[in-house]
Amino acid sequence: MRGRVQVDSVSGRIQSIDKLRGIVIVLMMLDHVRDFIHASSYAIDPLDPRQTNVLLYVTRWVSHFCAPTFVFLAGVSAWLQLARSNDKRGVAWLLLTRGVWLIFLENTVIGFGWSFSLHFSFFLQVIWAIGAAMIVLAGLMWLPRAAVLGIGVGITVGHDLLSRISPDQLGAFADIWKLLNFDSIIQIDGVDVVVVYPALAWLGVMCLGYGIGSLFVSDERRRERLFTALGSFLLVVFFTLRGFNLYGDPHLWQPQGTLRDTLMVFFNVEKYPPSLLFLCITLGPMLLALPLINRWRGVTARVFLTFGSVPFFAYVLHLYIAHILALLLTILCGASTAALIDVLNRANFHPEMLKGTGLPLYVVYPLWLTVLMIVYPLCRWYADLRRRRRDWWLRYL
């Protein structure tokens, strides 16, 4: 039974999922606006207490919730589609084709949105990771759901051990190993392919979402009890393993000179690829928040619901709008636009070109709010379009 889970009467979408997606989309937009406009975006590590301040640290750290939530909920959505349609072949085909489509867009439309240059390098970021995981899940979903969940748990818990195997040890399979488990650069016919989001750990997260997808339509009391238990368990795992430097992250921590610096170091866990502890400290609070999000009503909830009901549309749209506004603002302020053309390529291969570019952090927040105000009505229009129509191509946007 569905309990009291909120379901859109027209689209059949579960509103708590869309509200949660909307929250992380808004956080993601903040981080990307910071990438485009902030003077220190690529000059310093915003999570290094020796280089950062509290506001910059928090601005960057809260974005950690975005990728794990997106990937986890993509797995949940795959299970929900299967449960609604009972058409395993059709859902597998959708996952396969959508995965290929996302990888294509990562290296064309999205790549251009980041660079505003036709000569950008290929950066395999979160959309690539989601696409690759969807392709693999299209095959794994033929296994029992419990088996997929077990694979997700195994990858999430064990993939940190695999980082001990260097790509150099694998000869002809080195590039494949980099795609799976190392943030690295692969050269294909002289073209640099930058692996920002290695695929294996993110596949584990998607399998976790698929494996517990049935909880989202279970009895309300059972659903909330299990979400609370799972979220609490992940936080206990995080604080235990991290506190004693036992396992789960490649970077050990130690007390610093001040409490502020100690907390910054303690919570600075590895995202590329996401360590076990990174996933515990992001997925844990996300699961704890779900019961509250399900009961959340009002205008603000509806705003997040709108963003979250068209997540990929919002993702692509905000890149272009944020990039254009950042360029215009930079020109109006008489600052250098070097950091805004082919930005990822320059940041990774020619960081000296970005010295002295960008604007202060206090500019980031009003620009972020401006981006939200422009993107929201467009997302609302597109969400209404998707509720009215059932064209097959709308499932790919």
The SS3 assignment for 255 reads coil
Helix boundaries (H) for the chain: 15-37, 54-61, 66-85, 88-106, 109-115, 126-140, 145-162, 174-181, 199-211, 220-243, 259-266, 276-294, 299-309, 311-332, 343-349, 361-388
- Model confidence, pTM: 0.94
Return the HEC string of 27-66: HHHHHHHHHHHECCCCCCCCCCCCCCCHHHHHHHHHHHHH
List C-alpha distances in Å: 13 to 8, 21, 80, 313.
5, 12, 9, 16
What pLDDT does residue 1 have?
36
What pLDDT does residue 51 have?
92
What pLDDT does residue 121 have?
73
β-bridge partners, 187: 192
Burial-class residue 298 by CB neighbours within 10 Å (0-12, 13-18, 19+): exposed
Per-residue pLDDT of the chain (397 residues; tens, 9 = 90+): 344 555 543 445 789 999 999 999 999 999 999 999 987 777 789 999 999 999 999 999 999 999 999 999 999 999 999 999 999 999 999 999 999 999 999 999 999 999 898 766 789 999 999 999 999 999 999 999 999 999 999 999 999 999 889 998 999 899 999 999 999 989 887 788 999 999 999 999 999 999 999 999 988 889 999 999 999 999 999 999 999 999 999 999 999 999 999 999 999 999 999 999 999 999 999 999 999 999 999 999 999 999 999 999 999 999 999 999 999 999 998 888 877 888 778 777 777 777 778 889 999 999 999 999 999 999 999 999 998 888 888 878 7
What pLDDT does residue 12 have?
54
The SS3 assignment for 134 reads helix
What pLDDT does residue 385 have?
92
Identify residue 113 by its one-letter amino acid code: G
Question: Rg of the Cα trace of the chain?
Answer: 21
What pLDDT does residue 177 have?
95
DSSP secondary structure string, 292-308?
A: HHHT--SHHHHHHHHHH
- Rounded Cα distance between 19 and 112, Å, is 29
With CA atoms as reference, report the closest residue to 309 among 57, 99, 21, 23.
21
